[in-house]
């Protein structure tokens, strides 16, 4: 695995006139929202859930072909996104090559760490400073000049395996995340939860948020079983 910040990488800077738009092969859907922790416990029933951070950045879809990063597209409106491949090649922690040689598509969140955000803002006049890391990240990922993106220290954290030949062999969503990690991707932190312990687990994650260098705007709870989850609908 060759990471983006490897000394052997070769990312050519390029200035574009515009960002091309492209349809997603699978629409990105919205999450149901709640602030009621007991509602989450009841929703789980007797199934195993997967609890993870909802990172506060810009969702990106990466495609790898023959072990190499081939394409990167922003979430956009969920159906159509903008192609930002040259910018993604400057992300600090994504692998430029992976050991899996088939086509692989995954989703993740592009973010700028609080520590990097503070350093970047300190170099700007007060009138030009950014309000939060998310705004800075969004502007950085959608730059027409990827040399600027490179200087913003954007990072990528995977959270969903969209498609690959190996997908059917992975029974749970945690299996998918672990497999992506084995290929060299940094992925969102998760915890397997049950209704008996989820209230304690939510508190554990809430304390983690306070200490994290990555911006979050909530938690995501899904059913871990892919078969059970797909039987329930799309939201």
Over 22-71, what HEC string results?
EECCCCCCCCCCCCCHHHHHHHHCCCCEEEEEEECCEEEEEEEECCEEEE
Work out the end-to-end distance of the chain between its first and last CA atoms, rounded to an integer number of angstroms. 34
Q: Does position 202 have pLDDT exceeding 80, yes or no? A: yes
**CB-based contact 82:143 (threshold 8 Å):** no
Kind and range of the H or E run holding 229? helix 226-230
- Please name which of 210, 192, 184, 219 lies closest in space to residue 56, comparing C-alpha atoms: 219
pLDDT at position 100 is 96
Mean pLDDT lowest for which of 95-99, 114-118, 209-213? 209-213
pLDDT over threshold 50, residue 57: yes
Distance (Å, whole) CA 122 – CA 115:
11
More confident residue, 80 or 44: 44
Helix (H) or strand (E) holding 96: strand 95-97
Q: Residue 32 — very low, low, confident or very high, per pLDDT cuts 50/70/90?
A: confident
Q: Which residues contact 34 (CB under 8 A, 6 or more apart)?
A: 40
Distance from C-alpha of 77 to C-alpha of 94, rounded to nearest angstrom: 24
Share of the chain above pLDDT 70, in %: 86
Please choose, from the candidates 48, 54, 63, 41, the residue with its C-alpha nearest in 3D space to the C-alpha of residue 172.
Answer: 48
CA 75 – CA 88 distance, rounded (Å): 13
Catalytic site positions: 54
Is the model's pTM score more than 0.85?
yes
Q: Is the pLDDT of residue 173 over 60?
A: yes
Structure tokens at 28: 């990105």
Cα–Cα distance between 223 and 144 in angstroms, integer?
Answer: 39
Average pLDDT along the chain: 87
User: pLDDT band at residue 115, thresholds of 50, 70 and 90?
Assistant: very high
**For residue 35, which phi and psi values (nearest 5 degrees)?**
-115, 5
Phi, psi of 171 (to 5 degrees): -80, -30
- φ/ψ (deg, to 5) at 9: -70, 160
């Amino acid at each position: 695995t060759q990471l983006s910040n490897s000394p052997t990488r070769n990312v050519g800077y390029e200035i574009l006139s515009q960002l091309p738009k492209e349809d997603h092969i699978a629409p990105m859907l919205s999450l149901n929202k709640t602030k009621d922790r007991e509602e989450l416990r009841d929703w789980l029933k007797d199934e195993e859930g997967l609890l993870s951070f909802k990172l506060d950045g810009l969702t990106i879809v990466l495609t790898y072909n023959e072990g190499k990063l081939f394409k990167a597209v922003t979430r956009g409106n969920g159906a159509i996104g903008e192609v930002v491949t040259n910018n993604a090649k400057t992300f600090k922690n994504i692998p430029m090559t992976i050991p899996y040689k088939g086509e692989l598509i995954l989703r993740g969140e592009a973010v700028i760490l609080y520590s990097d955000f503070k350093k970047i803002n300190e170099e700007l006049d007060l009138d030009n400073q950014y309000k939060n890391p998310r705004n800075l990240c969004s502007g950085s990922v959608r730059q027409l000049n990827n040399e600027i993106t490179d200087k913003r220290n954007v990072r990528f954290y995977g959270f969903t395996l969209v498609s690959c030949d190996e997908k059917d062999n992975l029974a749970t969503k945690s299996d998918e995340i672990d497999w992506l990690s084995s290929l060299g991707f940094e992925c969102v932190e998760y915890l397997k939860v049950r209704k008996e312990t989820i209230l304690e687990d939510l508190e554990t994650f809430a304390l983690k948020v306070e200490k994290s260098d990555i911006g979050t705007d909530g938690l995501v709870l899904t059913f871990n079983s892919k078969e059970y989850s797909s039987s329930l609908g799309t939201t």
